[in-house]
Structure 1
Amino acid sequence: MFCDWTTGWSLIYRPIDDREKKIVDKIIQSCNVQNMRDTDDVIKNITKIISLPNSSIAFCLDDPNMMKSCQMSSLKQQMTKCVNLEMKNLTRNILDQKASNLSVPISITALIRFAMKNDLAFIDENQKYTFDTILTTLTMMVYPRSMAGLNLNPKKEESDFQQNDVENLLQRVCKKTYLRESGWEMIRKIDYPEPAESSCEFEKVFLNENFVFSRPLTVTGAYLFYPEETVFHQMTLDRIENGEYVLQNAQFSVDHPPVIRIKQKDPYYGNIRMLHNLFIQTGDNFYDDGIIKMRLVNETLFMEKNRWYLLPQAYSLTLTKI
């Protein structure tokens, strides 16, 4: 053993830039290791266990839910899909996440497939880059998460283990880690023929009444259940049509179909601090900076139960040929 578990996870899965890499290099060199990729160098020369400050404790590599992921991967043929002809930009085969909490990687998988087709003109003639395959790679190799719940009812702790912050996952898809290539590069090399060599970038945008659609986005919906429980769910924006967001929803039910429409002029969900500051400044819940215009609500103010609200923050993903 040459490092603690959380350091091991960070070296393999945490995205870093060049500045952070230099810091990690110094820490590793202080343990008398010159090249982490050279097994002989590590075994022969390491003088103490490598431990990175601020390494993530988000999960542990020996978590039993990781074992569930491996078992679930063999059952991907049982994933339920819905064919919906309303989609114009995204795949019409919409995966049902069922009782899982995998809406973030499902939404980002949809963005990756769109970018492969539209940015790289990639045609998957041999069906090697299917939605299922990319999602499995994303959740088991790029940034591991349990797939429990796709075909069974998971325990609560299993669902909690699946939670992903959308920006963290986008960072991992687009950036290298200390020991691994970018998530996109791992996905690109799933099979042959490969999509063109390309860089991956994501951009944060803000939905509002005047927002102009250019490409699909991963967006977050907020829904207030009775009694007073707000849930957040990741969806994918296919387009804006007749003043409505047309959203691909990956958790089907009678009340929440595979395609959800929300009016662009409907209120948006704002956090308590943002709404509080807005009221202090304007005495109203309408935000207007001259470009971005939207009415904000949350659990403390004007938010209705059993209704979807979108958070303003949304993300696009773009692939550019090198």
Structure 2
Amino acid sequence: MEKCDGNLRESLKNGNATLEARKKIATGIKSGLKYLEKIGIQHRDKKLANFLLIGDVAKVCDFGLVEEESERKSYRKLGYTRRGSKYRREDALFAGTPGFAGQYQLGGWGSGQNDYFLYLFCDWKTIWSLNYRPIDEQEKNEIDKIILNCGVQNINNEDHVIKNIKKIISIKNASGSFVLDDPNLTKSCQMSNLKQKMTKCVNLTMQNLTKNILDQKSSNLCVPISVTTLLRFAMKNDLSFVDKNDQNTFDKILTILTMIVYPRSLAGLNLNPKKEESQFQTNDVETLLKRICKKTYLKESGWEIIRTQKLYEPDESTCEFEKVLLNENFSFSRPLTVTGAYFLPARTIDGVFFPEKVFFHQMTLDRIENDEYVLQNSEISVPAQVIKIKKTHPYYAPIHDFNYYYNSQTGLSIYNDGSIKMQLVNELATNMSCETWYLLPQAYSLKLIKK
């Protein structure tokens, strides 16, 4: 194979390609994929990095995740599929790249759309915002006008876009916070790996924690696990849904949530066991909740995507979340996703010095009993580890130096209503005991409402 200049992801991120070059690249990719389909191969990892470029000529590469319909042995010799590959049927894949995997290959119903296509005709921040930023109807109408001004009347018709687009689509308020720049989020992964991470997180005893503690900056799924728990509760409690055929299991919902609905919620996972990575994008629980409840410009609401993933669907419904504060007037009525804080003192492990630090971990507030907050990681097939946090003070402590430790990993650590500033639920920051769990004041509930 010829030596290539780079891949499509690098080119689009740098903004180097002209509109005419993008049209030629799009036409070339469509032609290449059409040829593969003709000879019986469905490429199932159509992420941007898998399209190599020689000038403005595209080359489709990486046939590790394919559906091979012909079962011709010669394809292995040609390199289309690996010898002995188990990825020769779509229902056996259960693997993909975050943001570029179709629902079928993840064990569900629904879209197998070519998400790569519109990346070619939008600027880098715009396309990520169109895919993942929750919007209302007014914002949608404003974006409609921008796209129409670019010459595009039907953004979902690829041939129409290539023929009629006059300039690269760009929206002014596109946010870089939706861009998947974490190197972990550009890798394909098997869902068995995801489930292994999830089980490890759920079963963690949260005792004798060291540098490997699960914190928000390297979340190890704690945010989406907690939100999935709320979704499962709402399906049963609000919709009276009974999952008789195990089609909406915890791990299946978590898979759709993280791989399709909001891939940013995978931030912090180390998917490359041969290389320890330490720099991760952060994961914001409130943005994830908004994404579940609202549509983006290009996608349905997260709940609608999850709801329609299987043959036996929960009732048509909308999803809402509410922010609550854990104060002395708080009345518990349903599970909440909450942020725990854990203070580790300065310590030396195997000759390596680690300074004092407060870690944050997203959990589920399951109930309150005996004047204690009872929390668990998730509701899964094995019993979840339970943490009990005493309500030392039924009010918030004033600000001291706790904010120094908190790096906006799940939201604000301080509540300010203009007249009072509040912080940790159950202790003064300066009086935090070592190796003890505390709670931040803000928490969230999730509710499903039948249409």
**What TM-score do the two structures reach when normalised by structure 2?**
0.58
Aligned to 1:253: none
Which of 22-31 and 172-181 deviates more? Answer: 22-31
For residue 89 of structure 1, what is the aligned residue in structure 2?
none
Determine which of 12, 20, 23 is the counterpart of 2:142: 23
1:174-253 counterparts in 2 under 5 A? 174-227=293-346, 228-249=356-377
State the match for 1:254 in structure 2: none
Contact 1:98 1:150 in 2 (8 A): no
Pairs within 5 Å for 1:29-40: 29-40=148-159
Listed as ranges, the gaps of 5+ residues in structure 1 are: 83-92, 251-256, 288-292
Q: Cα distance, 1:268 vs. partner? A: 5.0
Q: Distance in 1 between matches of 2:140 and 2:377?
A: 38
Contact 1:188/1:194 (8 A) holds in 2: yes
Aligned length: 293
For residue 263 of structure 1, what is the aligned residue in structure 2? Answer: 390
Describe how 1:27-176 pairs up with structure 2 within 5 A. 27-58=146-177, 60-61=179-180, 64-68=183-187, 70-76=188-194, 78-79=196-197, 81=199, 94=202, 101=219, 102-145=221-264, 146=266, 148-149=269-270, 155-157=276-278, 160-161=280-281, 163-176=282-295
Retained in 1: the 8 A contact 2:345–2:357? yes
* Greater relative contact order (Cα < 8 A, sep 6+): 1
Identity of aligned residues (%): 55
Secondary structure of residue in 1 paired with 2:323: strand
Q: Distance in 2 between matches of 1:236 and 1:187?
A: 20
Secondary structure of 1:58's partner?
helix
Task: State the 1:14 CA deviation.
Answer: 0.9
- Cα deviation for residue 37 of structure 1 reads 2.2
Q: CA deviation at 1:260?
A: 0.7
Point out the structure with max Rg over C-alpha: 2
Q: Distance in 2 between matches of 1:275 and 1:42?
A: 45
Contact 1:7 1:52 in 2 (8 A): yes
Kindly report the root-mean-square deviation, in angstroms, between the aligned alpha carbons of the 2 structures. 3.4
Contact 2:321 2:446 in 1 (8 A): yes
Q: Normalising by structure 1, report the TM-score.
A: 0.79
Deviations 1:248-305 (A, max 9, x none): 136xxxxxx9211112344657664999999xx89xx989xxxxx966633xx33332
Superimposed CA distance per residue, residues 114-171 of structure 1 (whole angstroms, 9 cap, x where no aligned partner): 001111111111111111111111111000144734895873346x23x311110000
Query: How far 1:33 sits from its partner (Å)?
Result: 1.6
How far apart, in 1, do the equivalents of 2:170 and 2:413 lie?
41
Paired with 1:276 and 1:175, the residues of 2 have a C-alpha distance of: 26
Q: Distance in 2 between matches of 1:229 and 1:7?
A: 36
- Structure 2 residue runs of 5 or longer lacking an equivalent are 1-119, 205-211, 347-355, 379-383, 405-411
Distance 1:63 1:223, change over 3 A: closer
